[in-house]
Structure 1
Amino acid sequence: MIGYFDVRNGCAGDMIAGSLASCVDIGEIKKQLKLIDFPTKYDIEIKQIIKHTGKFHGIKANQFIVKLEEKENDRKYREIVSIFKNSKLNEPAKEKILKVFETLAKAESKVHNECLDKLHFHAVGQTDALVEVAFSILALEQLGINEVFASPVGVSNIAPATMEMISGIPAVFRDIPFEITTPTGIAIIVSLVKSYGDSPPVITTGYGYGTGTIQTEFPNTVLFAYGEPSYQKYEKVGIIETSVDDTNPVIFEYLIETLYQAGALEVCFFNAMTKKSRPLFCIRVLCKPEQKEILSKIIFQQTTTLGIRYREEERLILERKIEKVKTKYGEISIKIGYLSGKPVNIMPEYGDCKKIAAEKNVPVKKIINEALRRAIEEMDENRL
């Protein structure tokens, strides 16, 4: 399950928790929160309001309010660690909550030049902030979210710790005279998010808006949406392309071998016609972005091209698994592609089939067909 936070208009702990509140069984999460010995008694109130602004229609959003029974003093970072370590939550939830506060503590420690053992939290160490973080993590766990993505983060009137935490991630700096992203909010985002910008294609299951208490001229809301990925895997790949009309084609076999040995994911050649009716070869190489330099160098060295085009694209791929089946010709590897956990593609490994065909003096197509037949039989019998 994939989760996505739209935080272009900023984020705070209460806004994130509020956005999640529309998607979960709140009563169940409140039961889990009782497994944590918070230092001060509290009560959670979730108010659904319509956020009106000067330029937009109203947005229905949740205000996540933690009411404390008494005023609190500052709290040491190590005290917060103890609160969650000594709780009865499951270990994965503990680890994620502690990661949020570790992210926050390291930022505060750096900007204030104070070691972690002596570090005191002010507002971010109060029970309401602890509840907001714990609620958010438990909500994501209840939804079964295993990957989190987010938009670039909107920031303004930035606290030093917030500035430290947004270093290295996409941010939009806005000319607004108050803070739209708080240290607690950005600590949650930075600790959970896999990447920023577009999410992988997702079939949306649910969504919710969370908001703060400040009335603004823009919708100071966080949107959280979640759902199943429409493909099993999503990744960025590099595309290297060039065209040659004066390279001897006999070298192409060696070029292909060299590119694959260097890590190319795919190498393709296309025929075309260029100026003066010259035959042209278009070379396209699919690669991991970090392989761009070494693969481009090979093309420059092995061909007559004077220039190479490069771009990055998104690739959607199925989850893959290699199994082995026993046939009357021998054991053959089978590649299986899964979509949403169900097999949709089955193909024998050509290398295995080619080797056996040569050894047995049998047409390779017969080996492929036999391996495919056996694979389907074993899948029908739930043995693959």
Structure 2
Amino acid sequence: MSRRVLYFDCFSGVSGDMIIGALVDLGVPVDLLQKGWEAVGGKGRVEVLEVSRRGIRGKKVKVELPHVHYEPVQMKKLIQEAPIPQRAKDVALKALGLLEEAEKEVHGISEGFHELGDPDTLFDLLCAGLALDYLSPDEVYCSPLPLSRGEVRCEHGPLPLPAPATLALLKGVPVYPLRSSIENVTPTGVALLRAVVNGFREFPEMVVEAVGYGAGDLDPPEVPNLLRAVWGKATEVEDYIWVLEADLDDVNPEFLPYLEQRLREAGVRDVGVYPLRMKKGRLGCTVRCLVEAPFKDGVIEVFFEESTTFGIRGWKANRWVLDREIEEVLTPYGAVKVKVGRLGGRLMGFSPEHESCKALAQSAKRPLKEIYAEAIKAFLESRGGSQDR
């Protein structure tokens, strides 16, 4: 029943490599990052180093990077065409879009990327997306961010800290001062957080199960240069979700698929469209969404923007959900992810993940239904032919 929670405790700052290191320390396999990096043409071996920052151990992920420069459109193409899970692509592409918007805002025109065009930006976006897809948290939160003062040297010369692009990305994010002179909060780190977090807040109510530490490059004397990723289960006694709906009788039917897409992008758990006979005998439809509380206001705004409604109904509904986890099974054509649901530790159901099956069907050039059947067979065989395990 409990939802899986990931909390980024950025007590000394955040960067892309710190996020990756912390998630690897939580258990993300380095082979996953290696394969993902190779999928976009990356060379060199991905290494995980055990390092110390002010006496606290942490993971540092490194890879030998080529001396090339990417423009945003090149990074986008590489990510879109890579044979990686869709959720990983979504995270990487959303963060990339935020970085591009920040660069345009700072420079006034579209100059492309400067330092952000280095290969390590692509590596950080891609590997962070892969790591988050692997862990698949139900909720992601982040602490307020500490900001150092000083300057950083870049292509334009010395710039104040926080760097202008970082500050552009921090709009709406709670911050506080930190006595440090290093660049402790980077544009890529903030972009990744904004791409995935449900909100910036102090520690959520949760049962802590694991803690991962990701290390930055430097080891300044003021504070351990580490990011903590805390993993656990939400502890709310009652679980609820918002139900939002509106009846429409004057909307162009061609607009409905786009409305559904925008609502999903805004964070709804699910959206349905149901036929309805309305006043004066008009045929219409009800558009109904299920949405977590942190996304409610954004979903309402999109609902008004993209539909013709003048009013939206909403109420909180209790819900009961199975404990969910992702397992991987091996089929004759390759590995497939399977979503598994349990109640009190007892297996209640399972389902092959569509995107995983789709990717394998495309790469193996086999029918999707065949991949589904093989995944179900492999899952049952791994349990001796029974679901009751």
TM-score range, shorter chain: 0.5 to 0.7
Larger radius of gyration: 1
Alignment TM-score, normalising by the size of structure 2: 0.56
**Residue 225 of structure 2 is aligned to residue 230 of structure 1:** no
Q: Deviations over 1:36-91 (max 9, x none)?
A: 223x5232221111212xxxxx21111222212x322x321111110101111122
* Counterpart position of 1:18: 21
**Residue 122 of structure 2 is aligned to residue 130 of structure 1:** yes
- Amino acid in structure 2 at the alignment position of 1:42: G
2:22–2:229 CA contact under 8 A, matched in 1? yes
* Counterpart position of 2:171: 167
- SS of equivalent to 2:199: strand
* Counterpart position of 1:71: 67
Q: Quick one: structure 1 residues 121 and 218, their matched pair in 2 at CA, closer, same or farther if it must change by over 3 Å? A: same
Q: Which has the larger displacement, 160-169 or 137-146?
A: 137-146
Alignment TM-score, normalising by the size of structure 1: 0.56
- SS of equivalent to 1:8: coil
Q: What are the ranges of 5 or more consecutive residues in structure 1 without an aligned counterpart?
A: 53-57, 236-287, 290-315, 322-339, 343-384
Q: Quick one: structure 1 residues 16 and 34, their matched pair in 2 at CA, closer, same or farther if it must change by over 3 Å? A: closer
Counterparts of 1:1-384 in structure 2, within 5 Å, are 1-30=4-33, 32-34=35-37, 36-38=39-41, 40-52=42-54, 58-68=55-65, 70-72=66-68, 74-115=69-110, 119-156=111-148, 157-216=161-220, 217-231=222-236, 233=239, 319=319
2:79–2:126 CA contact under 8 A, matched in 1? no
Deviation, structure 1 residue 204: 2.0
Q: Deviations over 1:245-304 (max 9, x none)?
A: xxxxxxxxxxxxxxxxxxxxxxxxxxxxxxxxxxxxxxxxxxx99xxxxxxxxxxxxxxx
Q: d(CA) in 1 for partners of 2:226 and 2:317?
A: 34
Deviation, structure 1 residue 214: 1.1
Q: Quick one: structure 1 residues 25 and 179, their matched pair in 2 at CA, closer, same or farther if it must change by over 3 Å? A: closer
- Amino acid in structure 1 at the alignment position of 2:87: P
- Amino acid in structure 1 at the alignment position of 2:319: E
Deviation, structure 1 residue 320: 5.3
Q: Deviations over 1:331-382 (max 9, x none)?
A: xxxxxxxxx967xxxxxxxxxxxxxxxxxxxxxxxxxxxxxxxxxxxxxxxx
Q: d(CA) in 2 for partners of 1:83 and 1:202?
A: 37
2:88–2:132 CA contact under 8 A, matched in 1? no
Q: d(CA) in 2 for partners of 1:175 and 1:34?
A: 36
- SS of equivalent to 1:24: coil
- SS of equivalent to 2:63: strand
Q: d(CA) in 2 for partners of 1:77 and 1:45?
A: 26
- Amino acid in structure 2 at the alignment position of 1:16: I
- SS of equivalent to 1:223: strand
- Amino acid in structure 2 at the alignment position of 1:122: H
Q: How much identity, in percent, do the aligned residues show? A: 27
Q: Quick one: structure 1 residues 151 and 3, their matched pair in 2 at CA, closer, same or farther if it must change by over 3 Å? A: same
- Amino acid in structure 2 at the alignment position of 1:65: K
Deviation, structure 1 residue 190: 1.4
1:18–1:62 CA contact under 8 A, matched in 2? yes
Q: What is the aligned-residue RMSD (CA, Å)?
A: 2.8
Q: d(CA) in 2 for partners of 1:16 and 1:92?
A: 17
Deviation, structure 1 residue 220: 1.5
1:35–1:88 CA contact under 8 A, matched in 2? no
Q: d(CA) in 2 for partners of 1:6 and 1:113?
A: 33
Deviation, structure 1 residue 195: 1.0
- Amino acid in structure 2 at the alignment position of 1:63: K
Q: What are the ranges of 5 or more consecutive residues in structure 2 without an aligned counterpart?
A: 149-160, 242-292, 295-315, 322-341, 345-389
Q: d(CA) in 2 for partners of 1:219 and 1:233?
A: 37
Q: d(CA) in 2 for partners of 1:175 and 1:35?
A: 39
1:43–1:66 CA contact under 8 A, matched in 2? yes
Q: d(CA) in 2 for partners of 1:86 and 1:32?
A: 14
Deviation, structure 1 residue 233: 3.6
Q: d(CA) in 2 for partners of 1:227 and 1:173?
A: 28
Deviation, structure 1 residue 173: 2.5
* Counterpart position of 2:338: none
Q: Quick one: structure 1 residues 187 and 207, their matched pair in 2 at CA, closer, same or farther if it must change by over 3 Å? A: same
2:85–2:133 CA contact under 8 A, matched in 1? no
Q: Deviations over 1:220-249 (max 9, x none)?
A: 2100011221236489xxxxxxxxxxxxxx
Q: d(CA) in 1 for partners of 2:28 and 2:12?
A: 26
Q: d(CA) in 1 for partners of 2:197 and 2:74?
A: 26
2:23–2:212 CA contact under 8 A, matched in 1? yes
Deviation, structure 1 residue 8: 2.7
Q: Quick one: structure 1 residues 125 and 233, their matched pair in 2 at CA, closer, same or farther if it must change by over 3 Å? A: farther
